[in-house]
């Protein structure tokens, strides 16, 4: 394949991922404004914090979302890299604009609150799945958890799941909703979280969990150096033998979901390797 074709393919993949992020962000904003909030429920994460602030102060919702999101987006851009930061900023921008647009569109879902919240949570989860599958992110809680896990892993050399951090973060959000709004809103919002995260985990294979990347290659040294330099991760190396390829090396590396895109870039720069990704439920220490 010529260099020109490679660049064209890369550009098309990039365009597709940006488009899916925009579609997912619009789906999420539609769900929040047109279904969840009218049915006494809110989004989770930092979007939930913004909605609570809007309800308490009476400020415009999109303004509150922008105020809450900006610090996390800046941190993500600095710590997690330019490519991730651009996609996160794009998703957050489209989400915020979508909130403003859908607030002006009359929409009424004539059904029970419970069914409406389940339906809204499903749309929200589907939209966020599109964003995450495109290596993007719009919620600050996920960026915060990712940065925290990265810092702890870099210092300790051990791998940690984002799940406990995200659960604690959202527990604080729902406790706040319970106290400052009302009990029904907290319970409905918790239902949104359960439905949305169930759909997200189905389509992203539990993005909060640790991922094991297994790489089979004949040139392990270059890959190990690149992974260490760009991801600050080490690899376990084992001798292996292929029925056709003969002697080679098998590398095993543990990363989180948001590091997968960088790992794919590294692997694309080192041809001749075969790799798989699997989800790890627990690492025993």
pTM above 0.85, yes or no: no
- d(C-alpha 147, C-alpha 152), whole Å: 9
The structural domain count of the chain equals: 2
256 with 124, same domain: the answer is no
CA distances for 98 relative to 39, 194, 242, angstroms: 19, 23, 52
pLDDT digits (tens, 9 = 90+) for 34-79: 999 988 888 888 999 999 999 899 899 999 999 999 999 998 888 8
159 with 245, same domain: the answer is no
Longest dimension (CA), the chain: 68
Beta bridge partners, 239, equal 249
18 with 134, same domain: the answer is yes
pLDDT digits (tens, 9 = 90+) for 165-182: 888 998 999 999 898 888
234 with 198, same domain: the answer is no
26 with 63, same domain: the answer is yes
Q: Which domain holds residue 125?
A: 3-204
Nearest to 257 by CA among 221, 215, 203: 203
- What confidence score (pLDDT) does residue 285 get? 64
Backbone dihedral angles phi then psi of residue 282, each to the nearest 5 degrees: -160, 140
Backbone dihedral angles phi then psi of residue 242, each to the nearest 5 degrees: -100, 145
- d(C-alpha 263, C-alpha 267), whole Å: 6
Nearest to 123 by CA among 258, 18, 23, 54: 23
């Amino acid at each position: 394949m010529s260099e020109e074709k490679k660049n064209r393919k890369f550009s098309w993949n990039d365009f597709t991922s940006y488009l899916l992020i925009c579609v997912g962000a619009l789906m999420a904003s539609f769900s929040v404004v047109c279904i969840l909030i009218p049915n006494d429920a809110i989004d989770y994460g930092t979007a939930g914090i913004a909605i609570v602030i809007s309800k308490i102060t009476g400020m415009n919702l999109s303004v509150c979302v922008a105020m809450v999101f900006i610090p996390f987006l800046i941190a993500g851009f600095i710590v997690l890299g330019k490519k991730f930061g651009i996609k996160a900023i794009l998703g957050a921008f489209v989400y915020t604009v979508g909130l403003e647009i859908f607030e002006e569109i009359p929409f009424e879902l004539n059904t029970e609150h419970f069914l409406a919240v389940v339906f809204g949570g499903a749309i929200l989860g589907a939209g966020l799945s599109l964003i995450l599958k495109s290596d993007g992110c719009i919620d600050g809680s996920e960026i915060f958890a990712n940065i925290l896990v990265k810092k702890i892993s870099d210092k300790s050399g051990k791998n940690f799941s984002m799940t406990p951090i995200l659960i604690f973060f959202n527990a604080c959000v729902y406790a706040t909703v319970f106290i400052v709004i009302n009990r029904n809103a907290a319970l409905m919002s918790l239902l949104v979280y359960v439905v949305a995260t169930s759909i997200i985990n189905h389509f992203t294979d539990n993005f909060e969990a640790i991922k094991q990347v297994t790489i089979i290659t004949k040139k392990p040294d270059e890959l190990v150096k690149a992974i260490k330099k760009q991801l600050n991760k080490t690899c376990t190396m084992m001798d292996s033998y292929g029925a056709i390829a003969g002697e080679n090396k098998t590398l095993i590396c543990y990363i989180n979901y948001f590091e997968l895109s960088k790992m794919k870039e590294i692997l694309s720069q080192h041809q001749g390797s075969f790799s798989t990704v699997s989800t790890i439920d627990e690492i025993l220490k």
